[in-house]
C-alpha cells in the first residue's frame, strides 16, 4: 500500500500553491510535513485528500490513479487545528458518527468506540458533550473520530497548535505510539521543527509550495541539502556565517581567522556558508580548536529548562541554545565558542558540501 504524488501542482489564479511535488508515502508510515505558515502544507494535504483537484500531476494510490476522486469515495480522515466536533452529540456519538455513516453493526460500533476512546484516554467522558470538555479533551475526541474508522490515510493539520505546551507534549507522545501499529498512512503538518523531531518518521520540508527535502527525520536533520533546509529544520534557525576558504585558512566575514582543521582542509578555496546549530555553540570551549568570538548579549530567553541567547557583534549575529537557566542583561559581554567539528558547510549556491562528524555506534 502506498500513495504516490507524481509532479503534483496546484495553481489558483496564477498563484502556485504547490509546485511539482514528487513524494511517496508508505503504509504504516508516519510522515511530517514541516514548513512555515503558508508553505503549502495544508494545500498539499487537501490535494492528497482529494478536496482540491491538482492543476497538473497525478495522485496514485496502490497503483491506481485516484486524481480527482472525491473524498467520500476514499477512506480518509482529517484532523484540524480547530477542535471540530458535533456540539449537539455526546462524545460517544461523535466518535461513532463515521461508523454510523458506514452502516456498521451496533455491537461493532460499541466495541470500536470504546476501544478508540480508551486508547485516547477519554473513556470516562463518553456521555458528555464536546463543549463541556477542555481543549485537549475536545481534540482527543476529534482524533478518536478520525481514528475509529480505520482510514487508509489520516491527515493532521497542525492539530496541537491550539493547546498549551504541556498538553502538546502529552498528545505528541501518544500519537507516536498510536501509529506504531497501524497500517495507515499518517501525514502530520506542523510549523515547528521540534515537533517534527519529536514525532519522528519521515520528514518532508516544504517551502513556498515546493518540496525542499524529504527523507527519514534524522537523515534530513543531520544532512540538510541546502541552507534553506537547514534553516527550516532547526529551531531556533541554524546560524549562518559567510566565510572564505584559502589554501591555508578560513576567514569568517573577512574578520575572524581559523586554520583548516577537522575536515575543512578538503574544501576547495572559495566562498562558503558555514552553518552551526544554536545548541552547538557554547559559553565554554569544548576543545582548543574552537573558534572563539567576543559578542554582546542581545536577549536571553529562558524556557524553563533551556536558555536561548541571542548575541551579536559588528560582524555576526547568533543564537545559542544552552541547557539550564542563564540570565544575562542586554549588552553584557560574553565569549562564545564554535566547535569547528560541528560546522555544516554550504557552497556559494547554498548547497550542502560538508556535514559535521557524527558520533558513531549504538542504535539509532
Partner 1 sequence: MAEIQLKSLAHSYSATPAGAEDYAIRQLDHVWEKGGAYALLGPSGCGKSTMLNIISGLLAPSEGDVLFDGRRVNELSPRERNIAQVFQFPVIYDSMTVFDNLAFPLKNNKVPTSQIKARVHEIAEVLEIGDKLYKKAKNLTADEKQKVSMGRGLVREDVSAILFDEPLTVIDPQLKWKLRRKLKQIHEKFDITMVYVTHDQLEASTFADKIAVMYGGQIVQFGTPTELFERPNHTFVGFFIGSPGMNLIPVERRPEGVMFNGVFVPLEAWQNSLLQRVKSDNLKIGIRPEFIEISESQSDDSLEATVLDVEDLGTYKIVTVEVGGQTLKVRQSEDFRSDVGAGVHLLFPKQWLMLYVDEFLIKEQQ
Partner 2 sequence: MAKIPNNRAWWLVLPVFLLVAFSALVPLMTVVNYSVQDIFGPGQAYYVGTEWFKEVLTNERLQDSLLRQFLFSGAVLMIQIPLGIGIALMMPKSGMKASLVLILLAIPLLIPWNVVGTIWQIFGRGDIGLFGWALNSMGFDYNYTGDTVDAWFTVLLMDVWHWTPLVALLCYSGLRAIPEAFYQAAEIDRASKWAVFRYIQLPRLKNVLIIAVLLRFMDSFMIYTEPFVLTGGGPGSSTTFLSQTLTTMAIGQFDLGRAAAFSLIYFLIVLLISWLFFTAITHADKEK
**Chain positions contacting partner 2, by CB under 8 A:** 65, 67-68, 70
Candidate residues 134, 183, 351, 357; the one interacting with partner 1 per rule CB under 8 A: 134
Sign of torsion over alpha carbons 84, 200, 274, 327: positive
| CA geometry: angle 8, 10, 16, nearest 5 deg | 120
User: What is d(CA 245, CA 348) in angstroms, rounded to the nearest whole number?
Assistant: 12
Which range in 115-123, 148-156, 185-193, 344-352 contacts partner 1 by CB under 8 A?
185-193
Host H or E run for residue 211: strand 210-216
User: What is d(CA 192, CA 183) in angstroms, rounded to the nearest whole number?
Assistant: 26
- CA nearest to 134, candidates 167, 158, 161: 167
User: What is d(CA 298, CA 247) in angstroms, rounded to the nearest whole number?
Assistant: 35
- CA nearest to 189, candidates 17, 35, 27, 19: 35
By CB under 8 A, residue 231 contacts partner 1? no
194 binds, among partner 1, partner 2, none (CB under 5 to 8 A by kind): partner 1
67 binds, among partner 1, partner 2, none (CB under 5 to 8 A by kind): partner 2
Q: From the CB of 299, what's the least distance to partner 1, in Å?
A: 5
By CB under 8 A, residue 200 contacts partner 1? yes
**Contact between 280 and 342 (Cβ < 8 Å):** yes
User: What is d(CA 64, CA 166) in angstroms, rounded to the nearest whole number?
Assistant: 42
By CB under 8 A, residue 194 contacts partner 1? yes
Work out the number of other CB atoms within 10 angstroms of the CB of residue 211: 21
259 binds, among partner 2, partner 1, none (CB under 5 to 8 A by kind): none
151 binds, among partner 2, partner 1, none (CB under 5 to 8 A by kind): none
**Contact between 354 and 263 (Cβ < 8 Å):** yes
134 binds, among partner 2, partner 1, none (CB under 5 to 8 A by kind): partner 1
Between the alpha carbon of residue 176 and those of residues 29, 158, 188, 253, 272, the distances in Å are: 11, 15, 11, 43, 38
Q: From the CB of 98, what's the least distance to partner 1, in Å?
A: 29
**Contact between 192 and 199 (Cβ < 8 Å):** no
Between the alpha carbon of residue 235 and those of residues 26, 104, 202, 308, the distances in Å are: 28, 45, 18, 10
36 versus 53: smaller Cβ distance to partner 1: 36
Site for partner 1 in 56-85 (CB under 8 A): none
303 binds, among partner 1, partner 2, none (CB under 5 to 8 A by kind): partner 1
Q: From the CB of 97, what's the least distance to partner 2, in Å?
A: 24
237 versus 260: smaller Cβ distance to partner 1: 237
190 binds, among partner 1, partner 2, none (CB under 5 to 8 A by kind): none
User: What is d(CA 277, CA 265) in angstroms, rounded to the nearest whole number?
Assistant: 21
68 binds, among partner 1, partner 2, none (CB under 5 to 8 A by kind): partner 2
41 versus 258: smaller Cβ distance to partner 1: 41
Site for partner 1 in 291-310 (CB under 8 A): 298-305, 308, 310
Q: From the CB of 8, what's the least distance to partner 1, in Å?
A: 27
Strand partners, 210: 207
| CA geometry: angle 267, 349, 6, nearest 5 deg | 120
By CB under 8 A, residue 284 contacts partner 1? no
22 versus 70: smaller Cβ distance to partner 2: 70
The site for partner 1 (CB under 8 A) is made up of 36-37, 134-135, 164-166, 169, 191-194, 197-198, 200, 218, 221, 234, 277-279, 298-305, 308, 310, 321, 323-325, 327, 330, 359, 361-364
Amino acid at each position: 500500500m502506498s500513495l504516490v504524488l507524481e509532479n503534483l501542482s496546484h495553481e489558483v489564479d496564477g498563484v502556485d500553491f504547490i509546485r511539482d511535488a514528487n513524494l511517496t508515502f508508505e503504509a504504516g508510515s508516519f510522515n511530517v510535513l514541516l514548513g512555515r505558515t503558508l508553505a503549502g502544507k495544508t494545500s498539499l494535504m487537501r490535494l492528497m485528500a482529494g478536496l482540491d483537484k491538482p492543476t497538473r500531476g497525478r495522485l496514485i494510490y496502490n497503483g491506481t490513479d485516484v486524481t480527482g476522486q472525491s473524498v467520500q469515495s476514499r477512506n480518509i480522515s482529517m484532523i484540524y487545528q480547530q477542535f471540530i466536533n458535533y456540539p449537539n452529540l455526546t462524545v460517544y456519538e461523535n466518535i461513532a458518527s463515521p461508523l454510523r455513516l458506514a452502516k456498521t453493526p451496533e455491537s461493532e460500533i460499541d466495541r470500536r468506540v470504546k476501544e478508540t476512546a480508551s486508547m485516547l484516554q477519554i473513556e470516562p467522558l463518553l456521555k458528555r458533550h464536546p463543549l463541556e470538555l477542555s481543549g485537549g479533551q475536545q481534540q482527543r475526541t476529534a482524533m478518536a473520530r478520525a481514528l475509529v474508522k480505520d482510514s487508509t490515510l489520516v491527515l493532521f493539520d497542525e492539530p496541537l497548535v491550539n493547546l498549551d505546551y504541556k498538553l502538546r507534549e502529552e498528545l505528541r507522545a501518544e500519537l507516536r505510539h498510536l501509529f506504531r501499529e497501524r497500517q495507515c498512512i499518517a501525514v502530520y503538518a506542523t510549523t515547528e521543527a521540534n515537533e517534527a523531531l519529536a514525532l519522528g518518521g519521515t520528514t518532508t520540508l516544504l517551502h513556498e509550495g515546493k518540496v525542499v527535502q524529504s527523507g527519514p527525520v534524522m537523515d534530513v536533520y543531520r544532512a540538510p541539502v541546502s541552507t534553506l533546509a537547514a534553516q527550516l529544520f532547526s529551531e531556533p534557525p541554524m546560524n549562518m556565517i559567510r566565510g572564505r576558504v584559502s589554501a591555508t585558512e578560513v576567514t569568517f566575514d573577512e574578520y575572524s581567522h581559523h586554520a583548516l582543521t577537522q575536515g575543512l582542509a578538503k574544501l576547495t578555496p572559495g566562498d562558503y556558508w558555514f552553518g552551526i546549530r544554536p545548541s552547538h555553540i557554547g559559553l565554554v570551549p569544548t576543545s582548543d580548536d574552537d573558534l572563539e568570538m567576543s559578542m554582546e548579549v542581545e536577549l536571553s530567553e529562558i524556557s524553563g529548562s533551556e536558555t536561548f541567547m541571542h548575541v551579536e557583534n559588528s560582524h555576526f549575529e547568533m543564537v545559542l541554545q544552552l541547557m539550564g537557566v542563564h540570565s544575562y542583561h542586554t549588552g553584557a559581554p560574553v565569549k562564545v565558542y564554535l566547535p569547528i567539528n560541528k560546522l555544516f558547510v554550504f557552497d556559494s549556491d547554498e548547497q550542502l558540501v560538508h556535514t559535521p562528524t557524527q558520533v558513531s555506534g549504538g542504535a539509532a
